[in-house]
Structure 1
Amino acid sequence: MRFYRQLGRIEAMTFDLDDTLYDNRPIIRRVEAQATEWLHTHHPISASKSNSWWQEIKHQVAEKDSWLRNDVTLWRLKSIEYGLIQLGYSVQQAHQAATDLVDLVLELRSDFKVPDSSLQVLDKLSKTMPLVAITNGNVDIHKIGLSRYFSKVLKAGADGRAKPHQEMYHKAVQFLELPAKSILHVGDHLITDVHGAKRSGLSACWFNDQNKIIRNEPKTRTLPDVEVKLLHELILLNER
């Protein structure tokens, strides 16, 4: 545990989910591979274009509607729709195909087990203070067994603009009815989590399980209040 500034009494915690409570990288790789396979199998015309073409489609739809960057599920839906329309599908055909694919992605997205070590930390913390989840992703916390630990879950899109925007952080403060500084946000990302939390008035904990050196990180915008390499350290922090 490393402190960058003096940390006052913590009365609640907010948590990022992906890459903080579990390693999301292999999950996303699996989901993307299976989603691509499904699309190519059920709609073979999609395989006529390269991955770079589909990435360009994704950028194009976001340029037309910048809000989509705040909602990863809707962004995927609109990207598949638009791409298939460009390949000759009718609007109705494209919408149905995109909806079917998104349904599959959401199912695959939450088909994994959260490490017991994370569950143990959340269990201990939730018995001493309220916890709120703040995520830019679309995981279903009920399906992965996290709902019992959180008093509230805030998701980008449905609950406001994506982190590092202040909207969801402010909603968490309003829900908790506590001084923002007494709420510690825990997350792995130096911009969306650390910078976003600090500019919203919360205290920030950088979860650095990759052994990065903060002064060497190009994404460093704001120093966290504290850095931990293991989630278990949060229990020790709470017991100060």
Structure 2
Amino acid sequence: RVVVAASRELSPVWPFLIVGASLILMQSGGSLKRFFPPSSTGLAADRKRQIAAFMRTIHTDTKSSAEASSKMRMKAVTFDLDDTVWKGFETLQNAHANMFRWLEENTPKTAEKYDSNGFRKLMGSMREKHPSIAHNFTALRKKALEVAFEETGYEVKENVENAFNAFITARNDVLLYDDSLRAVKALRDRGMIVGAITNGNADVWETKQMGELFDFAIKAEDAGKPKPSKEPFEIAVACCREVLKDVEAAHPSEEPTAGSLGWNVVESEIMHVGDCLRSDVHGAKQAGFFAIWINRGANGGKSLGTREGVETKPDFVVRGLDEIAAKL
């Protein structure tokens, strides 16, 4: 069951929102806990105060213009990770190379039979053979390693874990864009709830510097489906509400009173930032989020309306993450 922040004035659609989020979580494993820091017992007191102050600002804002009101209504931001917060291609290349160094040193017959391109083809065949885990890059890589070790006569279980550990250690050693730390921290320091929604398998909590900036992180392999499916975005909404429940419990006397949903957050109050028009922009828009496309010069001259076969246009286009705070 999903426990969400209550309000003294509930919207008529609120029960249906609860049921919908509950069904999504049941399908993906039934608990929000795995989307929060593994050692966390809840938000730190300073973080709760920070979010509470921001929520009060939103609900007591007296600006009259529709534009100002719209800007102030954004309560949360979610980020794609690969090619948005960090350099996905370079990070993956380094991780793949690190795994192959381990193979060459420990299982040379495997490295000889499956060079880098050969192993990628093997992973592709695993995706076709096991469509139920096509979104789970951890499971796919381990399946491919199992086959490779079996075919080359090595013990499977221990070698799979060791080879994958070589990969994921380097996968989590991410190469950040110059603006990432500064931009994410700026939004967090405002008091916005900050989350990640990624189709990749990097563990944000294991990355240097970035993990401490996120309140929650959703990987496709944990959500059960990848973006642009609605499930990861709906889980993000549930995570935001869980954060607000935690904040409200610590600051009950500071509950915002304006608006019909009080401490709640709805989809239109969450903005999602990503580099992929299909996974991020289309996924966010169909889930009801405010969509920001980050295009670091990779448009290729194609129309926003047709790139990657997606007709949905983003609400904002930015060239760097620093531009986001300036637009709020």
Bin of the TM-score, shorter chain as denominator length: 0.7 to 0.9
Percent identical: 29
Deviation string 1:110-146 (CA, Å, 9 cap, x unpaired) is 2245345211111110122111111112223233212
CA contact (8 A) 2:90 2:175 kept: no
Aligned residue pairs: how many?
A: 230
* Residue 54 of structure 1: how far off its partner (Å): 2.7
User: Which residue of structure 2 lines up, in the alignment, with residue 64 of structure 1?
Assistant: 129
User: Which residue of structure 1 lines up, in the alignment, with residue 317 of structure 2?
Assistant: 227
C-alpha separation between the residues in 2 aligned to 1:19 and 1:146?
A: 15
Q: Which has the greater radius of gyration?
A: 2
CA contact (8 A) 1:163 1:193 kept: yes
* Residue 86 of structure 1: how far off its partner (Å): 2.7
* Residue 98 of structure 1: how far off its partner (Å): 1.4
Deviation string 1:155-180 (CA, Å, 9 cap, x unpaired) is 11123211111111001112223111
User: Which residue of structure 2 lines up, in the alignment, with residue 25 of structure 1?
Assistant: 89
Instruction: Please report the RMSD computed on the Cα atoms of aligned residues, expressed in angstroms.
Output: 2.2
- Does 2:126 match 1:36? no
User: Which residue of structure 2 lines up, in the alignment, with residue 163 of structure 1?
Assistant: 227
- For 1:111-190, list aligned pairs within 5 A: 111-112=173-174, 114-115=176-177, 117-128=179-190, 129-142=192-205, 143-177=207-241, 178-190=265-277
User: Which residue of structure 2 lines up, in the alignment, with residue 48 of structure 1?
Assistant: 113
The one-letter code of the counterpart of 1:104 is: A
C-alpha separation between the residues in 1 aligned to 2:240 and 2:184?
A: 17
User: Which residue of structure 1 lines up, in the alignment, with residue 261 of structure 2?
Assistant: none
The one-letter code of the counterpart of 2:136 is: D
CA contact (8 A) 1:61 1:82 kept: no
C-alpha separation between the residues in 1 aligned to 2:120 and 2:202?
A: 22
TM-score, structure 1 length as denominator?
0.87
Gaps of 5+ in 2: 1-66, 242-264
C-alpha separation between the residues in 1 aligned to 2:124 and 2:80?
A: 25
C-alpha separation between the residues in 1 aligned to 2:188 and 2:83?
A: 20
User: Which residue of structure 2 lines up, in the alignment, with residue 84 of structure 1?
Assistant: 149
Deviation string 1:31-50 (CA, Å, 9 cap, x unpaired) is 21222232133111111244
User: Which residue of structure 2 lines up, in the alignment, with residue 237 of structure 1?
Assistant: 327
TM-score, structure 2 length as denominator?
0.65
Deviation string 1:59-83 (CA, Å, 9 cap, x unpaired) is 2322232132222112111111012
Structure 1 runs of 4+ aligned residues shifted over 4 Å read: none
